[in-house]
Structure formats: structure tokens, C-alpha cells
Amino acid sequence: MVLEHGEDATLESYSLSLETSPAPTACVAGDDYCAMGCDNTNDADCVPICGNTVVEATELCDGNCPTLADCDDVDVCTVDSFTGDASDCDVQCQNAPITVCVGDDGCCAPGCDNTNDSDCTPVCGNSVVEATELCDGDCPTLADCDDVDACTADGLTGDASDCDAQCQNTPITACVDGDGCCAPSCDITNDNDCAAVCGNSVVDGPESCDDGNTADGDGCSATCTVETGWICADGGASGCCRDEDDDGSCDNTDPDPDPDPDSGSSGCNCRSGGGDSPASSLPILLLALLVLGLVSSRYRRHGRLGPLHAAHATVWYDGVIGDER
């Protein structure tokens, strides 16, 4: 309706004009009209509507909002969750990285290793000795295996690249000359690396005897030398004997039947291991006891000692031999 000159427009006539005017159909911003089929994504005059399945303006989702299951990013080292609500079209997944070293959560977080997180696999080369590793970054070389012990054979097993290098120091047990080691059970007679040991019953090096002890006064001194007036013919293994007359033989084997009368000795003066042999005095003791017994027995029978008949060489032996006249 077009107003003629001089005519006043009335409300009724204006309303009729609006009813008969065609509505805009194009999605055009700035015409203050949101045409049918338009939305905020193609017509700024349209207001965002949650639920129209179109993500508009500040919406994060609309009709396709994620659930918690949808937020699983298949990464064991993130904590999966979501924020917002589907009714507000603002649902959003959250996948927060795990940074704490915790065992059995399935994640070996950055900076963690097998020593503080059981989910981490041992890694040779990370300078951390883990699980079955013997070394890592500090693996020994053969030179490091020298234990400064001449009686061990120093070796190396494994490899640094496998983190299983390990020193081996095997004890030496063989008696070998010139290896610098006097192994257990060896001595100077079968290993020149051994020093003489006084008191081991073996005549070693500078020793002239070794009777198995380090005592003086038994023929072989505390320093394993033959003492003056003694003979240790076999090195003292079976004892030493006296040789006070210095004739090179034991006194009890000297051919002289008359030993020194002032010594009170019977001529046997052997020692074995530092003491007088009791066997050398036994015959004398038995003879003395026998004579004493005979005399005592005869005296009891007659009250006196019987006469010695020189002419008949008769001696009373308790009625066993001789004449009792």
C-alpha cells in the first residue's frame, strides 16, 4: 500500500502492509532477521540454540556431545575424563598426562624408571641399575677387576652393552712357581712364591730344622735352627736328640759303654718334641724295683740278709737260686 499525497497513514493500513509484505528467505547477516533454515553459523542475526544439532558460537557440542567412554584416547599415560553437560552443549574431554611414578597403573611416566615404577621396562643405557642389570653406565673393565690380590685370577664376564658386566676373582689353588702367589696348602718346597714358615714341620729355606713348634729347649729352636748340643737328623720331624760330646751321633747310641759318671746318666739322653724319653729310663726302673723286691722278700723270711758265698758264687734269690744253708 502506497500513501497518496495528503493522506494520513493509519495503524490499520500499516499493519495490512506488513501482512502482505513477503518474509526474507536468505540467510543474511545484518537484516535483523533470522530466516527459516538459517542458524548462527550462517546468519549472525540468528541466536545460538542448544539442541539444533548445529555447534554454534560458544557451543562445544550439539547433539554429538561425548560421553566418558568417548574420551578414552587409548593412552595409558593420561587420565581420561570430561567436563560440562550435553544439555548445555559444553561437554569436553579431558586427557591429563600422568606425571607421578606409580606402580601397576599401566603407565611409565616421563622421568620414571624400573626402580620407582614397576610399569617401566628396564632400559640398558639410562645410567640406572634396574631389575636384573648388574651395571649401567658404570660397568667395570678388566682393569677395574684387579683386586690387588696375587692369589686370585682376575677376569670379566658379560658386556657393558648388555649391562651385565661383572668381575670374577677366582682363588688360585695350584702350587705354581713364579705366579706371585703362595696358595693354601703350598709351601716353599713346591712353590717358590712361599716364604719359609717355622713350625710347620717342613724344613724351608734358611731353616736347619722344623719340629712342628716354635719352642726353645727341644733341640730345634723357636727360629728353626738346631740348638747347641743337639742333633736333628731328619730336620726334627721325629724329634731331636742330645749330642753333648759333639761326636755327631745321639748320646744314647754312642759306643762308649761308660757314660760320664758324674752325670748320673745311663748313656741315653734322647728327646723327642722337647722332653726326655720315658722309654730310655724304663729298663733301669724295672731292674731297681726287681732287686728291691727280692731283698725285701728275703729279709721277711729270715730276718736278715743271707750271706754271699764268694767261693760258690751263691746268692739267695728268695729260694729260687742258690743254697739256703
Q: What is the pLDDT of residue 190?
A: 92
Looking at residue 234, what is its pLDDT? 84
Question: Of 42, 160, 58, which is closest to residue 50 (Cα–Cα)?
Answer: 58
| Residue with the larger pLDDT of the pair 305 and 176 | 176
Where is pLDDT greater, at 12 or 88?
Answer: 88
Using pLDDT thresholds of 50, 70 and 90, give the confidence band for residue 256. very low
Cβ contacts of residue 178 below 8 Å, gap of 6+? 192, 193
pLDDT: is 255 or 97 the higher one? Answer: 97
Percent of the chain with pLDDT over 70: 73
Residue 138 has pLDDT above 50, yes or no: yes
pLDDT confidence of residue 164 = 97
Q: Are strands 92-97 and 152-157 parallel, antiparallel or unpaired?
A: unpaired
**pLDDT over 70 (residue 271):** no
Determine the pLDDT at residue 281: 54
pLDDT tens-place string over residues 47-68: 999 999 999 999 999 999 999 9
pTM of the model: 0.46
* SS3 annotation, the chain: CCCCCCCCCCHHHHHHHHHHCCCCCCCCCCCCCCCCCCCCCCCCCCCCCCCCCCCCCCCCCCCCCCCCHHHCCCCCCEEEEEECCHHHCCCEEEEEECCCCCCCCCCCCCCCCCCCCCCCCCCCCCCCCCCCCCCCCCCCCCHHHCCCCCCEEEEEECCHHHCCCEEEEEECCCCCCCCCCCCCCCCCCCCCCCCCCCCCCCCCCCCCCCCCCCCCCCCECCCCCECCCEECCCCCCCCCEECCCCCCCCHHHCCCCCCCCCCCCCCCCEECCCCECHHHHHHHHHHHHHHHHHHHHHHHHHCCCCCCECCCCECCCCCCCCCCC
